[in-house]
Amino acid sequence: MTPRVPLPRLAAGGLALLALLLFVLQSTTLAKFSALPPTLSFGGPLDYARQIRARVALGAYDALGLGLVLALALALLAAEVRRGQLSAFLAWGLATERRALALTALGSLVSVRYYFTPGLLNWGGDAAFHLTYAELAAATISRGELPIWTNAFGAGSPYLQFYGFLFYYLTGLVKLCCGEVNTAVKLVLASGHMASGLGMYCLVRSLSHSRRAGLVGGLAFVLCFWHVQQVVVMGRLPLGLFYGLLPWPFYCLERLRLAARPNGWVVLGGLSLGCLIFTHPGYALWAVLLLSLYLALRLAAAPGERRRWGARGLGLLAWGLCTGAYLWLPMWLDRGLTGLAGGMDLSSVPDPSWHHLLVWSNYRFWLLPLPSGQNHWHGGYLGLSLCLLTAAGMYLAARRFPRHQVTGALWPVGVCLGLVLLMVLGYRSPLVGQFPLFHTFNASRYLLFAAFFLALAAGLGALLLLRWRVGKRRWSGLYILMVLGMLVDLGPTTFQHPCMAAGNDPLGYAPSIYASIRRMGSAHVGQDQLPSYRVFWALGPTHPFLGLGWLYSQGRTPLAQGFQAAELPAAVECVDPFARYVAEVWSNASGPELPSLPEYDFLARYLGALNVRFLLYTRSDHALAWPGGDFPHAPVLASARA
């Protein structure tokens, strides 16, 4: 029977008030930070402070709110030092499984409060691509259909046939309930981020049989700054769902070990693995490989369980691959029919360094300046506190607890973490170069798995630290010190504002351009129909994801260009080279008028063959010219060799 643990009301009330103040601060003071571009990093703390003074209109109420948060945090710390209030609250919260799950969920909710800030989600980085396809999915699902094909981009293409679709479908379904795509995306991202913490809690709990270790692991995965940087700052929105799903195949694999009825866990584990494939097949490939390595290492340490547990684990992997075959099998068989026929090379992306991973940063600034040549966002802070917990756990596993049950799980986790860090930091080394499979990604993409195994190792390391005796007594304050250290280290990185004010144009161009395109289209077609012509944008210096995504979102007219390398050959081999040609020709022109160009006749006929009515061009000075054109229309060409 679980002993009754009283609730320390002072700590409970103080923490509840602190959570409320953080949400208020997020929706008032931090909302004003929309004046700063969400994906812009500054030189250092002093430069960041200068930019805030110059651009953000802060007032007395903002200072009061921040002061109340700091004062309440210090008061809670003092209550812990004098009366052990925070330790008593954690003891109460971890006394039962339900309370522990609720505590992890509430802690995760407060940590990811930036998803609930007002405004439109940041369209920078890759977000424009994902938000555009989320809008397409939501519009299609609202009509009672599933998006399978889209004519919005390129020459028409399978809707994400060569990309995970689960995030977009889920967003479309949530939009049916909340009525607005931007809100639906925020809810999906917040739910995925919270699910990552709950999944990591369950995984660490199953390995360690300790709720305290589970809470450390769950909060570590939620708070790890690379988590939010990759999803929110860089705009890799579907990975928010991937983070949420990743712990569950590992958890189901561990439950297979002792479950009296393992078939249910095989099915659930395979479904969760299939959902990873449906979310992002590239990352899912590495999830499958690392899960297989983890299983092999666990079985190597437990030879007596190889027949029973190994067969069930292989069944889970096989069922996951069969579930995801709906996506990965056509990708593999049909890639030659798309722009993927020539392969993809991601190795030109800069690599992360130790500085990116271990020097504190919230991406707005680094505590210490980045070395020369490393000022890029392909790497983010993992958390020094998590690294220290992991290192301490590995040392204790080797020297003090070689036969502990957690040690048998910590070594496979450590090997997987070491392999991932080798792929991150040794990406250009001859050793990694011997394995072409490692170069299917760039180095920074492996940081997702580094954050996962680091949080898992930190949770297990925390338990070994708690088992460690100083003299003959355990240090009773060690657990609260670990939790507070993690919150002090990573908590400040949660002060984010990833949204822009409603009505802002991330490109800075006149809204009348998009309004004219949209008005012309709506005058000729019904509400749920696309215009029967295209828009063409010779992007020039404009980022293609942002330019094309925002243009379609605001203009609601099909674009001749496509987003992905997996578009049909008609787009990859004909439209994209033509777009580069137009940009080059126009960059040498003295004026913006199309008829003044000597190449006008050729350009007009080509545009007519693409059924283009609007031609836009971004000049080098970022001014947008948009001559409309009644280009001579050519008949549709249908030839395998034309």
- The pLDDT-based confidence of 437 (bands split at 50, 70, 90) is confident
Whether residue 618 is contained in a domain is answered as yes
Instruction: Classify residue 415: in a domain, yes or no.
Output: yes
Same domain? 516 vs 430: no
Has residue 154 been placed in a domain? no
For residue 475 the two structure tokens come to: 């240090």
Write the pLDDT tens digit of every residue in 124-162: 888 888 898 898 888 888 888 888 888 888 877 766 666
Phi and psi at residue 382, to the nearest 5°:
-90, -30
| Number of structural domains found in the chain | 2
Average pLDDT rounded to a whole number, residues 568-575: 82
Do 266 and 406 lie in a common domain? yes
- pLDDT-derived band at 212, boundaries 50, 70, 90: very high
Name residues whose C-beta falls within 8 Å of residue 372's C-beta, 6 or more positions apart in sequence.
none
Instruction: Decide if pLDDT at 501 tops 50.
Output: yes
Looking at this protein, which amino acid is placed at residue 229?
Answer: Q
Same domain, 262 and 316: yes
- Using the 3D structure, point to which of 469, 499, 529 is the last residue of a domain: 499
The pLDDT-based confidence of 259 (bands split at 50, 70, 90) is confident
pLDDT value at position 199? Answer: 97
Among 471, 499, 527, which residue terminates a domain?
A: 499
Q: Do 240 and 384 fall within a single domain?
A: yes
Q: Write the pLDDT tens digit of every residue in 595-624.
A: 677 887 888 888 888 888 888 777 655 566
Residues 94 and 181 in one domain: yes
For residue 23, is it within any domain?
A: yes
Domain membership flag for residue 52: yes
Is 11's pLDDT higher than 70? yes
427 and 555, same structural domain? no
Ranges 87-101, 232-246, 260-274, 573-587: which has the least confidence:
573-587
- 462 & 571 share domain: no
Asked if residue 151 belongs to a domain, the reply is no
Sheet with strand 624-625: strands edge to edge = 534-538, 612-618, 624-625
Mean pLDDT, residues 553-563? 84
pLDDT at residue 641, rounded to an integer: 46
Residues 367 and 458 occupy one common structural domain: yes
* pLDDT recorded at residue 487: 96
Q: Does one domain contain both 442 and 491?
A: yes
For the purposes of burial, counting CB atoms within 10 Å of the CB of 508, is it exposed (0-12), middle (13-18) or buried (19 or more)? exposed
Q: What average pLDDT is seen over the chain? A: 86
Of 474, 499, 524, which residue constitutes the final position of a domain? 499
% of the chain surpassing 90 pLDDT:
43
Max mean pLDDT range (215-229, 502-516, 619-633): 215-229
Question: Are 206 and 243 members of one domain?
Answer: yes
Which of the listed ranges 2-11, 31-40, 308-317, 516-525 does the model predict with the highest average pLDDT? 308-317
Instruction: Judge whether 134 lies within some domain.
Output: no
Average pLDDT rounded to a whole number, residues 72-95 = 93
pLDDT above 70: residue 632: no
Beta strands of 539-632 (E only): which ranges? 612-618, 624-625
Shared domain check, 560 and 471: no
Q: How confident is the model at residue 523 (pLDDT cuts 50, 70, 90)?
A: low
Query: In which domain, by residue range, is 288 found?
Result: 9-123+160-334+360-499
pLDDT > 50? residue 637: no
- The answer to whether residue 178 scores a pLDDT higher than 60 is yes
CB 108 within 8 Å of CB 197: yes
- For helices 181-208 and 405-425, angle between their N-to-C axes, nearest 10 degrees: 130
The answer to whether residue 149 is domain-embedded is: no
Residue 271 and residue 331: Cα distance in Å, rounded?
19
Please check the confidence at residue 640 and state whether its pLDDT lies above 50.
no
Nearest residue to 546 (alpha-carbon basis) of 74, 85, 185, 126: 126
Same domain, 484 and 543: no
pLDDT for residue 472 is more than 50: no
Please enumerate in sequence order all residues whose Cβ is within 8 A of that of 376, keeping only pairs 6 or more positions apart, or say none. 350
